[in-house]
Structure 1
């Protein structure tokens, strides 16, 4: 499925990383240095899957709209229409939320 005209190839997924809170429940603004990088994202677009040597297709293990647990490192940052996203391989995800 494409997102804003972008379709990931093979077993890659386009992910929007969750944004850390900038305010506490009491309304206090948090400086960027105290905000932690969240390892949760939403899958926005997926490729068709991975082809193996015999030509069969291994389908993706995630679907568009699912929340996934991201690795601390990895992925490729891309920018589409001024907004930053991450590209991950299907196998890079640590888990998904139901």
Structure 2
């Protein structure tokens, strides 16, 4: 077991945009559990970093999201 000081801390971010949802076997799209404006927690090494309009952003799959902050 690692001490708290040695463990990577999860990251927090605000969702700026979402896609249409996962394509299901029947051809429909799955409903997303997050939406634009939601604040989420994700792993430090999750997703891909890109630059959009001069700002660094991260692209995540919904499965990379560990929690949604409510309230």
Q: Shorter-chain TM-score: what band?
A: 0.7 to 0.9
Q: Which residue of 2 aligns with 1:95?
A: 67
Kept after mapping to 1: 8 A contact 2:10/2:43: no
Q: C-alpha separation between the residues in 2 aligned to 1:60 and 1:52? A: 12
RMSD (Å) for aligned C-alpha atoms: 1.4
Deviation at 1:72, TM superposition (A): 2.2
Structure 1 residues 53 and 38: CA distance shift in structure 2, 3 A: closer
Task: Name the count of aligned residue pairs.
Answer: 62
Q: Moved runs in structure 1, 4+ residues, more than 6 A?
A: none
Pairing of 1:43-82 with structure 2 (within 5 A) = 43-82=15-54
TM-score of the aligned structures, taking structure 1 as reference length:
0.59
Q: Gapped runs of 5+ residues in structure 1?
A: 1-36
Bigger radius of gyration: 1
Give 1:91 deviation, angstroms: 1.0
Unaligned runs of 5+ residues in structure 2 are: 1-8
TM-score normalised by length of structure 2: 0.79
